[in-house]
Structure 1
């Protein structure tokens, strides 16, 4: 059953993408675990391609057993009703917009599309984006009023045809430990961490720093352009998912073998601003400059574990690339007003490091703050 209702939406010009969606997360991306769970038809091109990170490439005049190849989802002709594709978002979130991209589909693009959402699956669907006309070989950006908590999205195309990419933008519903004393990664995208400012994203987006896992190559990390200026530095500001007491930083340079930064440092601040001024005098050094190595996971104990922080600024010298930044700490706010007391300083300093599945920690390395994977 589908609950249909009139919904307001705004068409967004491509040049306004960063203004409208710059502070959002692509909730549907495979890079955070988005996946197609079922689809009505994918005769000409498979639906999983809707969620790929890379832009659609032209496969003109390349043919497979069912016809010409396309980077996207394409159904067979002459559907009397509509085709549909159900997607499980990488994490539960609130949705604020869509990118329905028909690039390279020209004459075989889906003429119209609409979007339904659900929190659980299977479930009653709620239409949040009404049927709209699409054009050939172009991106269609739409902003909608923020939805409630959503985990599943259903894209419907009328009556059939092709879509190259379908990107769902919004905000992560953070996941925190039940026990406020349990250390976790406050910068992780699933904890609500966000990159709010950066000096340079020339070769790789700084938002990649907060993604799950360790990625597959240099393309899914953060890399700045080369600089030969004296005393140059690049930096990224990360808003933590919640105010916290910070214990450990993990700087991962996996896949960066000849272009890793020479060194880095980390500063922290407690601020009510979304994007604190990087020149604000309130930033406190919580990791003094330290050397970095190639293709390594580095673990550093942070200073001032009893101070509360909302943002961290990671600076690299003079330039280069890193894959992931993890900021391990505990929640600063008590979820229960009747909680007995805050965590003692010595307890905060002794918490074990929690890392993701697949990370290997090697013991017994002397005079080093990192391990080789």
Structure 2
């Protein structure tokens, strides 16, 4: 079990291209825990950094933003976490912020692919490492096999503020190449590779499942005061595809939505193509956006294959989610008619995928 200690200043270099597989924002959850007497384990996976709750007390003692167990454990405490999606794990952030004198002295991590039970064989992926008080501890490991569950063990007991598992999503892509799906979604391997501004909200939020809970889990740029300003984000699709539909969702952005947007596509071998290059094709001409709503747009060039899309917003503002619907194989209208009439006897030139819980609001 080799590992490398990563200085905090190298976080972006080592983990900037990874996904936080354990985050509640993509469905990470605690499924088993040995003890959470002083502070509940679900807080390990929260998106927001831990805050100080010094001198605030509950029925069991002082409050902490994190997980804290009883004292005097003769062996170790543990917490089993289901990752938001199956992934390849490459590192961890074990954060003891605000735990000083009651932090867990040591920790280790195991992984499993199937739902854990008494017969589960756990594979150690991070050996027992020393932890210090009130600080983040970053560890890089060789890429694992596919994992869906991890077990954090602390020796012998104590507190951990946040636990973040970094790695790469194992894409979930339809076996049928003409089945439409969201090529930009985080679970299909979509990834934000460049952006102009992430001042109020990270552009990576655009690809998360669901519609979120507030403006904080969308993408929002700072206000601009220069003429002809625009912001943009470049998304690498989970697979090269033929694109049919874009879904732009501005839910919760009621007074700070963009005035308009457009979308460009490119077929490139580069991870992050030059955002200002001349090879981008317009696939959605500028369209007006509105507050707190979801809109569907038919994309141009349906028989051109693209690997990346670039969404530009004018002049600035916030968007909650972007979906880019397409297929991995282009089908002419006659072929598509035959397929759709066989399934539902209705011709659909632009199949739409809507996530459970979405409310479709039309103009």
Measured against the shorter chain, the TM-score band is: over 0.9
- 2:283 is matched with 286
Please list, as runs of the form range in 1=range in 2, the aligned pairs for 1:9-88 lying within 5 A after superposition.
9-88=3-82
1:8 and 2:2 are equivalent in the alignment: yes
The two structures have a TM-score, normalised by structure 1, of 0.92
1:255 and 2:252 are equivalent in the alignment: yes
- 1:314 is matched with 311
Structure 2 residue runs of 5 or longer lacking an equivalent are: 338-347
What is the Cα-based RMSD across aligned positions, in Å? 1.1
Please report how far the alpha carbon of residue 247 of structure 1 lies from its aligned counterpart in structure 2 after TM superposition: 0.3
Please report how far the alpha carbon of residue 345 of structure 1 lies from its aligned counterpart in structure 2 after TM superposition: 4.1
Is the CA contact (8 Å cut-off) linking 2:245 and 2:350 kept in structure 1?
no
- 2:342 is matched with none
Is the CA contact (8 Å cut-off) linking 1:109 and 1:161 kept in structure 2?
yes
Please report how far the alpha carbon of residue 181 of structure 1 lies from its aligned counterpart in structure 2 after TM superposition: 1.2
Please report how far the alpha carbon of residue 361 of structure 1 lies from its aligned counterpart in structure 2 after TM superposition: 2.8
- 2:341 is matched with none
Mapped partners of 2:350, 2:288: distance in 1? 24
Please report how far the alpha carbon of residue 324 of structure 1 lies from its aligned counterpart in structure 2 after TM superposition: 0.3
Higher mean C-alpha deviation, range 178-187 or range 56-65: 178-187
Mapped partners of 1:129, 1:24: distance in 2? 18
1:96 and 2:85 are equivalent in the alignment: no
1:241 and 2:238 are equivalent in the alignment: yes
Mapped partners of 2:280, 2:9: distance in 1? 33
Mapped partners of 1:87, 1:311: distance in 2? 32
Residue of 141, 144, 167 corresponding to 1:144: 141
Mapped partners of 2:358, 2:221: distance in 1? 25
Is the CA contact (8 Å cut-off) linking 2:298 and 2:350 kept in structure 1?
no
Mapped partners of 2:46, 2:317: distance in 1? 26
1:204 and 2:198 are equivalent in the alignment: no
Residue of 320, 331, 341 corresponding to 1:343: 331
The two structures have a TM-score, normalised by structure 2, of 0.94
Is the CA contact (8 Å cut-off) linking 1:306 and 1:345 kept in structure 2?
no
Moved over 4 A (4+): none
Is the CA contact (8 Å cut-off) linking 1:42 and 1:73 kept in structure 2?
yes
Please report how far the alpha carbon of residue 298 of structure 1 lies from its aligned counterpart in structure 2 after TM superposition: 1.1
Mapped partners of 2:134, 2:198: distance in 1? 27
The SS at the match of 1:20 is: helix
Mapped partners of 2:224, 2:323: distance in 1? 26
Aligned length: 349
Is the CA contact (8 Å cut-off) linking 2:44 and 2:161 kept in structure 1?
yes
Structure 1 residue runs of 5 or longer lacking an equivalent are: 1-6, 333-341, 369-373
Is the CA contact (8 Å cut-off) linking 2:250 and 2:319 kept in structure 1?
yes
Please list, as runs of the form range in 1=range in 2, the aligned pairs for 1:104-123 lying within 5 A after superposition.
104-122=98-116, 123=120
Residue of 298, 311, 315 corresponding to 1:301: 298
Mapped partners of 1:13, 1:319: distance in 2? 34
